[in-house]
Amino acid sequence: MTAPSRLQALVEAGMALTSELSLDALLERLLEIATELTGARYAALGVIAPGGSRLERFVTHGIDAELREAIGDPPEGRGILGVLLREAKPLRLADLSADPRSVGFPPNHPPMRTFLGVPIAQRGVAFGNLYLAEKAGGEEFTAEDEELLILLAAQAAVAIENVRLYEAATQWSARLESLIEVGNALAHETDLGRLLDLIARRLRELLDARLVTVVLPAGPDELRFAATSGEGVEELLGETMPREGSKSGRVLTERRSERIDSILDDPDVNQRVTRLVSVRTGLWVPLLVHDRAIGVLTVHDKLGPPDGRFTDDDLRLAETFASRAAVAVDLAERVSRDSLRRVVAAQEIERRRLARELHDETGQALTSILLGLRALEDSLDDDEARKAADTLRQLAVQTLQDVRRLAVELRPKALDDFGLEPALERLAETWATQTGIAIDFAARLDHDDRLSNDIATALYRIVQESLTNVVKHAHARHVSILLTRKNDEVVAVIEDDGRGFDPGAGSDGFGIQGMRERVELLDGRLRIESQPGAGTTLVVAVPVGIEPIR
Amino acid sequence: MRRGGKPATMPGMTYAVVWSERGGPRFAGSLELGSGSAVLSGSAAGGSSSQRRLRLGDLVDVHVERGPSGAPVVVVAEPGGSRLEIASLEGRGTLHELVEGLLGERGKAAG
């Protein structure tokens, strides 16, 4: 090739390289051009791994796929290839095998004698090395070939940087689009399942992962799959697994992300779930709200690399999405709690109104009827008529008693008029009388203050429900109710000497579930201690919202 | 892995009740409504326990009347003359719900 035509070829090569937008396509085109320009039979490009001591990728031209497979693993950068790694300067050899630094070729490798290698550097940092072998006609590579290849390598360095920038920009654009989509969904979507599904799907696409899941706590001991994305994992949705003995449970407790490159070797991972979905690698990221972990995002098996491993960058992206998921979950919980709070409050308001109507209107009307019937009875001469009037009066008396009892059942007046202590004392007396169970009530609250209406009502209903459960299930002879103030909390303890039960044996009944909901609405805690044959103790602690008595 | 728990329905409901039989001891416990039967289980103040199954299809009568204290009670008459008075501890509404449940299951068992 003459000098002008080589120059022309080089210019055309540069333009061809810069038009490529995919790194893989660019590297293949580069090798093609290098062989065309120099007449080499074989060309290769080794991409240098971080650290600079070995090759992480080896692209070839002139060797077909069948031969490549027969040769086996690509070179890592020993021998002559290693010389270029270490010295980062052009190397031209007339006979590869004769060079003392050569380590030979693996079985099935085609013979190669003449050799030319040049580094590809970006801003002074080595990206890789370009290698040529077996110049046509058995000739040696010339100084002109070397100069041409150096120029080509410089053009390639620019093209490679452009492609990398383009790929990074595309990747960041896709990430930004996904984050904007998730952000918009957070503002408008009210269904938590759909929100988490969107987050899982977008993250899986961005990371090119095989599957993504979001697990949320389901009670104190279990985790529930709230969202899944990926093939073959639809059946996981809604399923639960024990928190104890799982990686997700550990991440939830320790509130720290983990990246596992070989799941089979990790003793913390729930192997049953792992076998069900056949995953090899994974990221576990906690959903954090004010340093509190409320769920875990998991990502498994990156599809690009043969080993399926995720990078630090992948972990950072997963953490970004986990923070969005945490906002979604927290928001849903707050909305749910607010709704429940409103429902409970509305329920109590309605009960209070009904109780007042019964007492003030129906009760008053019945009292008037009673008085009227008494007067009528006294005015009648006929025995039969007087007897009939008396029967009516008895019926009115019973109805009035029923109405008063109903009013108390709906909303005890003592709770509104005098506060929690007197109301509970009255409740304990009534239940003891009705059931024959000995019920002791003791309170140690500061009498200068009075509990807020919400707390008083919740504690009253919880004690009421506890007594119902004692009668239903405990076969107890004695119950004690203790109400105390400890620091900034009001604590109610209901203890019975009944037959006890195993709290871990089954899910909560509706009564206990209702108690838990009331307690959680007040940011309180509920604990049940029991074992078969040893009675039951229920402890409720609620932060105090004291209202001074006016 | 476990799926979610079953929803509560009637039968399957449990009520907190007190009951006695013709002036006998008063028991406090639960009435569990089943398909065709109801189980009363509880204990009395003296510590004695009781558990009895009512075969609803065999009941002679189920109705509401005033108990000794004037409050309404469910009266259940069994074959052989036994008569139970059952009061709900969960309010008037549940008493009527209980009656409906007993009559409903009794009807199914008899039919």
pLDDT in tens, chain A (550 residues): 676 777 787 888 788 777 877 888 888 888 998 998 899 999 999 888 777 777 778 889 999 988 888 888 888 788 888 888 888 889 999 999 889 998 888 889 998 999 999 998 877 788 889 999 999 888 999 999 999 899 888 888 888 888 888 888 888 899 999 988 988 888 888 889 999 999 999 999 999 999 999 999 998 889 999 999 998 888 889 999 989 889 999 999 999 999 999 888 888 777 777 777 788 899 999 999 988 999 999 999 999 777 888 999 999 999 999 999 999 999 888 888 888 888 888 888 888 888 888 888 888 899 999 999 889 888 989 998 899 989 999 889 988 888 888 888 888 888 888 889 999 999 999 999 999 999 999 998 875 567 888 899 999 999 999 999 999 999 999 999 999 998 889 999 999 999 998 887 665 666 788 898 889 889 899 999 999 999 999 999 999 855 433 3
Q: What fold does the segment set A3-168 form as a domain?
A: Beta-Lactamase (3.30.450)
Question: Chain A: nearest CA to B111, how far in angstroms?
Answer: 30
DSSP assignment of A317-367, as one string?
Answer: HHHHHHHHHHHHHHHHHHHHHHHHHHHHHHHHHHHHHHHHHIIIIIHHHHH
Question: Chain A: nearest CA to B53, how far in angstroms?
Answer: 16
Q: Which of B76, B99, B98 is nearest to B20 (CA)?
A: B76
**Residue A442: both structure tokens together:** 């003791």
The verdict on a CB contact (< 8 Å) between A435 and B18 is yes
What are the b/e assignments for A98-124, b being 16+ CB within 10 Å? eeeebeeeeeeeeebebbbbbbbeeee
Please state whether beta strands A525-530 and A292-302 pair in parallel, antiparallel, or not at all (unpaired).
unpaired
Q: B46 or A237: whose pLDDT is higher?
A: A237
Residue A224: how many CB atoms within 10 A of its CB? Answer: 20
A487 close to B (CB below 8 A):
no
Q: Which chain B residue lies closest to A478 (C-alpha atoms)? A: B45
Best interface-test mutation with A: which of B1, B51, B97 has the largest number of A CBs within 10 A?
A: B1
Q: How many residues does chain B have?
A: 111
Q: How much is the pLDDT for A550?
A: 37
For residues A174 and A168, give the distance between their C-alpha atoms in angstroms, rounded to a whole number: 10
Question: Chain A: nearest CA to B44, how far in angstroms?
Answer: 7
A105-148 pLDDT per residue, tens: 888 999 899 999 999 887 778 888 999 999 988 899 999 999 98
Task: Give the pTM.
Answer: 0.65
CATH of A417-548 given 1.10.3720.10, 3.30.565.10, 3.40.1030.10, 3.40.50.720:
3.30.565.10
Q: How much is the pLDDT for B11?
A: 58
For residues A46 and A543, give the distance between their C-alpha atoms in angstroms, rounded to a whole number: 66
Q: How much is the pLDDT for A448?
A: 54
In chain B, residues with a C-beta closer than 8 Å to the C-beta of A405 are: 71, 92
Question: Chain A: nearest CA to B91, how far in angstroms?
Answer: 6
* Whole-Å CA distances, A352 to A400, A404, A429, B68, B79: 18, 13, 22, 29, 44
A277 close to B (CB below 8 A):
no
The verdict on a CB contact (< 8 Å) between A510 and B8 is yes
For residues A279 and A375, give the distance between their C-alpha atoms in angstroms, rounded to a whole number: 88
- HSE (side-chain half, CA atoms, 13 Å) at A255: 9
B19 close to A (CB below 8 A):
no
Angle at A456 between CA A452 and CA A460, to 5 degrees: 175
Q: How much is the pLDDT for A360?
A: 84
The verdict on a CB contact (< 8 Å) between B8 and A507 is no
Contact of A499 with A439, CB cutoff 8 Å:
no
For residues A117 and A92, give the distance between their C-alpha atoms in angstroms, rounded to a whole number: 6
Residue B9: which pLDDT band, with cuts at 50, 70 and 90? very low
Q: Which residue has the tokens 């950068």?
A: A77
Q: Which residue has the tokens 């000497």?
A: A497
Q: How much is the pLDDT for B3?
A: 37
In chain A, residues with a C-beta closer than 8 Å to the C-beta of B71 are: 401-402, 405
The verdict on a CB contact (< 8 Å) between B2 and A431 is no
The verdict on a CB contact (< 8 Å) between B28 and A240 is no
φ, ψ for residue A15, nearest 5 deg: -65, -40
Residue B4: which pLDDT band, with cuts at 50, 70 and 90? very low
For chain A, first and last CA: distance in Å?
Answer: 104
Best interface-test mutation with B: which of A213, A400, A471 has the largest number of B CBs within 10 A?
A: A471
The verdict on a CB contact (< 8 Å) between A409 and B29 is no
In chain B, % of residues over pLDDT 70? 89
For residues A336 and A330, give the distance between their C-alpha atoms in angstroms, rounded to a whole number: 10
In chain A, residues with a C-beta closer than 8 Å to the C-beta of B49 are: 475
What are the b/e assignments for A265-295, b being 16+ CB within 10 Å? eeebbbeebbebbebbbbbbbbbbbeeebbb
Q: How much is the pLDDT for A212?
A: 96
Q: Which of A101, A109, A520, A478 is nearest to A117 (CA)?
A: A101
For residues A280 and A263, give the distance between their C-alpha atoms in angstroms, rounded to a whole number: 5
Q: How much is the pLDDT for A231?
A: 86
A468 close to B (CB below 8 A):
yes
The verdict on a CB contact (< 8 Å) between B30 and A405 is no
Q: Which residue has the tokens 């004392």?
A: A425
Best interface-test mutation with B: which of A391, A411, A434 has the largest number of B CBs within 10 A?
A: A434
Angle at A434 between CA A433 and CA A439, to 5 degrees: 55
Residues ≥6 apart with Cβ < 8 Å to A369: A396
Q: Which of A459, A370, A380, A475 is nearest to A419 (CA)?
A: A459
Domains A3-168 and A188-329 share a fold: yes
φ, ψ for residue A379, nearest 5 deg: -90, -10
In chain B, % of residues over pLDDT 90? 37
The verdict on a CB contact (< 8 Å) between B89 and A435 is yes
| A97 secondary structure, DSSP code | T
Q: What fold does the segment set A188-329 form as a domain?
A: Beta-Lactamase (3.30.450)
Q: Which CATH architecture has domain B14-110?
A: Roll (2.30)
For residues A293 and A116, give the distance between their C-alpha atoms in angstroms, rounded to a whole number: 57
The verdict on a CB contact (< 8 Å) between A406 and B92 is yes
For residues A178 and A331, give the distance between their C-alpha atoms in angstroms, rounded to a whole number: 20
- HSE (side-chain half, CA atoms, 13 Å) at A123: 3
Contact of A415 with A456, CB cutoff 8 Å:
yes
The verdict on a CB contact (< 8 Å) between B1 and A241 is yes
Q: How much is the pLDDT for B1?
A: 40
A329-378 pLDDT per residue, tens: 998 888 888 888 888 888 888 888 888 888 888 888 999 999 998 898 88
How many Å separate Cα A82 from the centre of its chain? 46
| A107 secondary structure, DSSP code | T
* B 54-93 residues with CB < 8 A to A: 66, 70-72, 87, 89-92
Residues ≥6 apart with Cβ < 8 Å to B35: B11, B105, B108
Minimum-distance CB partner of B1 among A239, A434, A477: A239
Contact of A238 with B3, CB cutoff 8 Å:
yes
A347 close to B (CB below 8 A):
no
Minimum-distance CB partner of A240 among B2, B15, B30: B2
DSSP SS3 for A541: strand
Q: How much is the pLDDT for A449?
A: 60
Residue A355: how many CB atoms within 10 A of its CB? Answer: 20
Residue B93: which pLDDT band, with cuts at 50, 70 and 90? confident
Domain boundaries, chain A: 3-168, 188-329, 417-548
A239 close to B (CB below 8 A):
yes
No. of helices (H) and no. of strands (E), chain B: 1, 7
Q: How much is the pLDDT for A479?
A: 96
For residues A536 and A526, give the distance between their C-alpha atoms in angstroms, rounded to a whole number: 13
The verdict on a CB contact (< 8 Å) between A472 and B15 is yes
Residue A387: how many CB atoms within 10 A of its CB? Answer: 12
Q: Which of A348, A352, A319, A322 is nearest to A455 (CA)?
A: A348
Size of interface A-B (CB pairs under 8 A): 69
Q: How much is the pLDDT for A188?
A: 84
For residues A77 and A184, give the distance between their C-alpha atoms in angstroms, rounded to a whole number: 49
B15 close to A (CB below 8 A):
yes
A238 close to B (CB below 8 A):
yes
